[in-house]
């Protein structure tokens, strides 16, 4: 099925989604079920921006950047294999858009160090990655760089895993602080004037009257009435609506938008040994892996340690294979495996066969989608070039507002 030539609604939709991944290795099925599958779904619903977070990768891999270089475009091929479609979403490369670094610098001025030291991943990762020296300025600042990534696109939604929720929270705090410090957009008064004109003489008069009433008495009826009036007005665009609402309430129009984490209720797929799937634990199946290797890896998966002989009954709860059934098998197959295990009616290799089949079935279309990009990597670069141009235009627009709000427009 080719969807790339159907007209796409997503670019015209205003609610922007932003997420990124670090290019530190081939993506695996844990990434697919934990994040990518969700990205693919979202590209049909909202205006999605997805980027290769190569600067983020440098915060932990500054001593072996070859890894990053090797994986940037490979990761994009994995995305395309998983079903991201350049006609439906914008894919780009972080380091090509230096505005991310500019916003990061400006946000850094007013961000207390304590905010960053308290982010849970800071200490966790230093503990976990003991072989790396992560007592660096870049690593401490990394969640603020992530905040800049998000805020520069005024993204409403950020699809991330649980482990990243604290970074989105920091992003919200950074946005709130920025808006508090630098408040309303430049030339707010003139722009309000222009928007008011669109309401017509009578409309503007009524609007002003109820604004005064609301600001003097806090009358919520006036507020609700005016908000309805604004929201339903056919001649105002989204920015004008927001501006007039800010004017009515006396808050101004926010320069930066507070995002929401879109936590993936994704099926969690653990690694072959039951621990978190990770290339460095050697328990992963890549998104593009050859058939023989997949078969072999699944056949070698450890099972319930109590099932030593074929005649020993087992307990699926103690078996990593069962976790795969939960993701890959329907109710009927699950019941078959559960019963067969508990009664020693089936052997572990029997139990694994439907999973081998399902994983291969899942990979088939991914390999097919990847094929043209693998044979012709120039197309991948073109996709990223086009996406980067689109993303840069948005980033530059935000930065104009940011500079003006701070007063750097001299």
Q: Which residues bind ligand SF4 (CB under 6 A)?
A: 303-304, 307, 314, 316, 319, 321-322, 337, 341, 346, 348, 351-352
Nearer residue to ligand TRP within complex by CB, 30 or 246: 30
22 near ligand TRP, rule: CB under 6 A: yes
CB of 354 to ligand SF4, least distance (A): 10
Nearer residue to ligand TRP within complex by CB, 146 or 303: 146
Q: Which stretch binds ligand TRP (CB under 6 A): 8-16, 17-25, 180-188, 359-367?
A: 17-25
36 near ligand TRP, rule: CB under 6 A: no
Q: Which stretch binds ligand TRP (CB under 6 A): 144-152, 215-223, 292-300, 343-351?
A: 144-152
Instruction: Name residues whose C-beta falls within 8 Å of residue 5's C-beta, 6 or more positions apart in sequence.
Output: 87
Per partner kind, with CB cut-offs from 5 to 8 A, the member of ligand SF4, ligand TRP, none near residue 22 is ligand TRP
Place of tokens 């992560």: 134
Nearer residue to ligand TRP within complex by CB, 51 or 324: 51
Rounded distance between C-alpha atoms, residue 107 and residue 105, angstroms: 6
Give the number of C-alpha atoms closer than 13 A to the C-alpha of residue 332, restricted to the C-beta side: 1
Nearer residue to ligand SF4 within complex by CB, 264 or 323: 323
Q: Which stretch binds ligand TRP (CB under 6 A): 18-26, 112-120, 262-270, 365-373?
A: 18-26
Nearer residue to ligand SF4 within complex by CB, 289 or 304: 304
Per partner kind, with CB cut-offs from 5 to 8 A, the member of ligand TRP, ligand SF4, none near residue 149 is ligand TRP
CB of 163 to ligand TRP, least distance (A): 8
Of 151-170, binders to ligand TRP (CB under 6 A) are 158, 160, 164
Nearer residue to ligand TRP within complex by CB, 65 or 209: 65
CB of 315 to ligand SF4, least distance (A): 7
Nearer residue to ligand TRP within complex by CB, 47 or 195: 47
Instruction: Name residues whose C-beta falls within 8 Å of residue 274's C-beta, 6 or more positions apart in sequence.
Output: 302, 320, 323
Give the number of C-alpha atoms closer than 13 A to the C-alpha of residue 8, restricted to the C-beta side: 21
Rounded distance between C-alpha atoms, residue 394 and residue 392, angstroms: 5
56 near ligand TRP, rule: CB under 6 A: yes
Binding site for ligand TRP (CB under 6 A): 18-22, 53, 56, 146, 149-150, 158, 160, 164
């Amino acid at each position: 099925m080719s969807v790339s030539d159907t007209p796409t609604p997503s670019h015209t939709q205003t609610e922007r989604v932003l997420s990124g991944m670090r290019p530190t290795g081939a993506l695996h099925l844990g990434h697919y079920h934990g994040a990518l599958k969700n990205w693919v779904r979202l590209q049909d619903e909202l205006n999605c921006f997805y980027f290769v977070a190569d600067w983020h990768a440098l915060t932990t891999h500054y001593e072996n950047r070859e890894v990053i270089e090797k994986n940037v475009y490979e990761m994009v091929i994995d995305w395309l294999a998983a079903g991201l479609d350049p006609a439906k979403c914008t894919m780009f490369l972080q380091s090509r858009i230096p505005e991310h670094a500019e916003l990061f610098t400006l946000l850094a001025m007013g961000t207390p160090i304590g905010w960053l030291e308290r982010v849970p991943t800071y200490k966790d990762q230093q503990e976990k990655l003991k072989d790396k020296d992560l007592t660096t300025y870049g690593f401490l600042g990394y969640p603020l760089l992530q905040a800049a990534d998000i805020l520069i696109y005024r993204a409403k939604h950020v699809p991330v895993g649980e482990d990243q929720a604290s970074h989105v929270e920091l992003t919200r705090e950074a946005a709130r602080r920025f808006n508090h410090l630098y408040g309303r957009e430049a030339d707010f008064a003139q722009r309000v004037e222009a928007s008011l004109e669109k309401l017509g003489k009578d409309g503007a008069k009524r609007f002003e009257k109820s604004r005064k009433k609301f600001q003097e008495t806090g009358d919520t009826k006036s507020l609700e009435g005016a908000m309805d009036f604004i929201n339903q007005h056919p001649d105002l665009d989204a920015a004008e609506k927001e501006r007039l609402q800010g004017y009515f309430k006396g808050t101004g129009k926010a320069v930066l938008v507070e995002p929401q984490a879109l936590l993936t209720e994704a099926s969690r797929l653990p690694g072959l040994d039951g621990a978190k799937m990770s290339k460095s634990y050697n328990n992963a199946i890549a998104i593009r892996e050859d058939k023989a290797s997949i078969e072999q890896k699944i056949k070698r998966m450890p099972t319930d340690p109590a099932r030593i002989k074929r005649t020993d009954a087992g307990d699926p709860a103690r078996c990593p294979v069962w976790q795969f059934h939960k993701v890959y098998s329907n109710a009927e197959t699950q019941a078959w495996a559960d019963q067969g295990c508990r009664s020693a009616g089936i052997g572990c290799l029997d139990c694994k066969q439907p999973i081998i089949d399902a994983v291969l079935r899942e990979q088939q279309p991914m390999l097919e989608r990847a094929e043209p990009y693998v044979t012709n990597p120039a197309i991948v670069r073109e996709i990223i070039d086009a996406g980067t141009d689109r993303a840069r235009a948005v980033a530059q627009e935000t930065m104009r507002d940011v500079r003006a709000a701070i007063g750097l427009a001299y």
